[in-house]
Amino acid sequence: LAVSARETCSELVFLRFRRVRRATREEAPKRTAGQALGLSFATAMGRSASNAAEVAKGAEVAKGRDFFFSATDEPHVTRRGEILKAHPEIKSLMGPEWRTKYIVAGTVSLQIFMAWLTLDWSLPTFLAALYVVGATANHSLFLAVHELAHNLGAKSIKNNKLISLMANFPIAIPYSINFKPYHMEHHRYQGQEGVDTDIPTRIEGFLISDSACCYADHTCRKALFMFFQIFAYALRPMMLKPSLVPFDGWMLLNYVTQFSFDGLMMYLFGPKVMLYFLGSTFFAGSIHPTAGHFIAEHYVVEGNTETYSYYGPLNILAYNVGYHNEHHDFPNIAWSNLPKVRKIAPEYYDKLPQCGSWWGILMRYIFDDNISPYSRMKRAKKAE
């Protein structure tokens, strides 16, 4: 019976794949092998054949090795005004969330405990703990810093910065103060060329896509980029706009407190403890389920839509950052109230394209030949 079940399952999978491939050939007989495989992958990910074809068609610009370009303003300001006019009660949701600081303190405590607990573990067990617990916890702290950059963890700017310094501790590298100016630019000038440093550079596009010789080469390069994605995410803003963050007292305090924490951990537990903290940070921004939001939020994968929300269970660990359309529409509403925005104004959000899986979008980015660093929406920089 077990053998028969396996054979039946295999036959169903084969028939499913054959139907997907047949639909691909019928809808796009002139596509390259890589484009057809990307369409098959999009269909297999749960989209209808027509939606998958629309995705592939919309990504032709990216396949032509250029970004998407928009002549209009980013959509969030306009939608915000419409929603507030239709649902003025949303204003009552604005403001900080008092629980954030306690969640941050608990996550930091967990990471210190795990760093001590795993000191003598075997390498396989250590790596498993690093990926499952450490990376998940540190990614949660990344997103706590994101909340605090919007001043949504306390009433005063000062207290938000102080909490962000604490959230920074297990990340091992000082960045919480530097993050805010770049992220605020991303919100104010979404997609504006030379301003929004969240968008990959043309150098990244050349190294990953333009110089790839075939589908397999392109796929391997995208997988390699995703594995080391944390470096691009951290270094790109500082390399493109180093003058945006002046060295001031807060930055100095960030460096002093962070390196003091690192030194204290090494004094108490030995230098090996830093392997846990740094490894957690690396895998938190690598091929990890929670890191899927880096791709899910703004990569153009359906038509010309430039922001996507994810409503799945990983939001519990990620301060509801998956509610990304809601967040960009109302950046002064804390994580705990973002689901209420969608509940109050479903007519504005339920019809928008959504991301069904952070892990799924990571895999799609790697294996779908139509998606690349160029799959981002740009718009001309506005005159000052």
Q: What does the pLDDT read at residue 65?
A: 72
Our CA angle for 381, 82, 145, nearest 5°, is 60
Tell me which long-range contacts 1-5 makes (C-beta under 8 A, separation of at least 24): none
Q: What does the pLDDT read at residue 383?
A: 62
Strands (DSSP E) along the chain, which ranges? 68-70, 309-310, 354-355, 377-379
Q: What does the pLDDT read at residue 384?
A: 58
Q: Could you say which residues of the chain have pLDDT below 50?
A: 1-33, 35, 38-64
Q: Say which residues have a Cβ less than 8 Å from residue 253's Cβ, sequence separation at least 6.
A: 165, 177
The pTM for the full model equals 0.84
Distance CA(237)–CA(188), nearest Å, equals 15
